[in-house]
Structure 1
Amino acid sequence: MRVAFVSLFAPGHGDTPARNRTRRVARGLADRGHDVTWLCARWWGGDHDVFEEEGITYRSVTDDPSPTAFAARLPLALRRVSPDVIHAVNTPPTPGIGAIVAGALSRAPIVVDWWRDHPADSVRRYRVLARSADAVTTPSRTTKTRIREYGADGDDVRVVPESVDFGLVEDAPVDDRFDAVYSRRLDRHANAETFLLGLAELRGRDWTAAVIGDGPERARIESMANDLRIADRVTFLGDRPLRERVSIFKGTHVVAATATWETFATELLWALASGCVALVEYQADSSAHELVEGRERGRLVTSPAELADAFVAVGQLERRSIDRDFASYDHGAVLDQYLSTYQTLVD
């Protein structure tokens, strides 16, 4: 199958969760023998229009990342590629709309993968994009609701979650040092305060905890642990490579997810696959609760006090270093969901 990815920005312009998701899908397709072309603004050096990496052929539509110029030149670029299916992203929306127009001209179906909205972009363009795509994929039901508010038919919006390398989870050693862990970039959405306040309620109990991640809020969060008089029991590990994080998850009983905003709680998914019991604080702008609803090894909380109570309550659950229920989130299994969407549209 010939698949054309349409994204003004590529990971070469800088890593973001959305770009990494697109690259993972493109690379997975290439590894399975599909013909994969990524149409984007040029991010590589030199004056050549084509760059190949990891089985993906990157073709520059424009030298500069101008959404309008990119959309205008896209129909010709797609005609040269002649794809069976077009996979576009939603942000910025103008190139996605250009892909829809080009797809109509070439009769190639278009799938829009929708990560999140950018507040600087036009709501009207998002509405056009949501209503005009042949199918929309998105990582969570929370975001699906947003897309339906733009006017998309719910039957055309499919939840395709983020994924993990389950083989890595199986192979990683167990680092058995902590009873509880929080793992996320420490930015303004992190809300690690709930985690620390919940632990502070349990000063009289025996526990150790870790905070994995770095970011602009780290110093303030470390200061808070000191003010709560639990700094001697909370280890701030900073950024750690994925394999090391998985080893820590495999040796830890409880993971807490308290961020106020998550399109998809990927770190929580890794921890769940690694056997952790999850304590998730419900937040209106986070989809983290979707990973634990209805699961015995998960609890939803709404306050630090409830988190503390849940931490005590789940103490009776066995410690695990892997949870095979999450093998369905393996990279290969999730890639199959994209392929199924493509094939349905092509047929």
Structure 2
Amino acid sequence: MKDRGHNRDPKQCRVKLKELRQAYQKTREANSRSGSEPQTCRFYDELHAILGGSATTTPAVLFDSFNGDGGNTEAGFGDEEDDDEEEVVDSSQQASGETSFPDSQELFLTLDLEPVPPEPTQGCLLDPAGGEGTSDTDIKELEDVFGLHGQIEHKLDFLRKNVPKDMKLVLIGHSIGCYITLEMMKRASELQVLRSVLLFPTIERMAQSPQGKLLTPVLCKLRYILYMPVYLLSFLPERVKTSMVRFVLRGLKCPDEASIVTSLNLFSVDCVANVLYMASQEMMKVVERDSTTIKQNLKKLIFYYGVADNWCPQQYFEEIKMDFPDGDIRLCEKGIRHAFVLDASREMAAMITDWVQDILTRL
């Protein structure tokens, strides 16, 4: 592998092999169902040949290009627990030579405003396009997965199945992701959370906020009328959709190109239906601030409010600051908007990186 220009250590290879095996297994199971359309995944034919038609078969030997000897493939294709105990490593950070934080056992989990959901009829999250990689977690058993409760349980299920129990975590939430973060800490107190960074937190009285008063009637009673125009717009050519998105975002001083690409999902009726359904639940369920959970975890929490945020106005900042005078509760003085991902994602990322580095060096 090194002779071909690939710089990967054995640990990264084992993780990739496990992902390929899981992708093959899911594809094979899907194809075994009667009446289902044939599916494939990356390197399916090669995996089928190696695994001998069985996702649980362990080939006799794989050559270890790092050690120069043969080895049993349990390191990559097996289901043993060792893989789950491996340290989570940011491979992009290794490749760039950047300095990692002290104690590399920390894992960062970011929760944003809305997930990009699959079709509402699926009942589980799908693999990325092309079949490479695996789903975050198997959530067929979760009820109302696109609702607020289902999203919280999905994140917890992901951690339980993919992250070692003794892994130290830094949780970063934005908007409704802050509510989800607090609920995760409440429902799973065993999580080894070092810090939770809550950006523009919509953790109380969403329907009573300036933006909530405007949108609650639409989200809770009139959202269905939006489906037809979205359905009709979905037939437009991609270049026309892109031009429309750029026109809507033209007022941004430095629009993030990723925001334009992501916004194209809003031309999908499935995506819009799930987003609006989730938002309607937020208006109804995010009412009282969970002061009990905040008090129990106050030393682990960082709140960051906006000066002119119509979802969590400055009044909310002043009230929580009064209730928790010893808490790390900050007010943005840079004029960053609630939807900072549209034009200030790099600035926000740099600021949070500085916070987390400072926090971890003092632990």
**Structure 1 and Structure 2 fold alike (TM over 0.5):** no
TM-score under structure 2 normalisation? 0.31
Identify, as 1 or 2, the structure richer in helix: 2
TM-score under structure 1 normalisation? 0.32
Q: Could you say which structure has the larger radius of gyration? A: 2
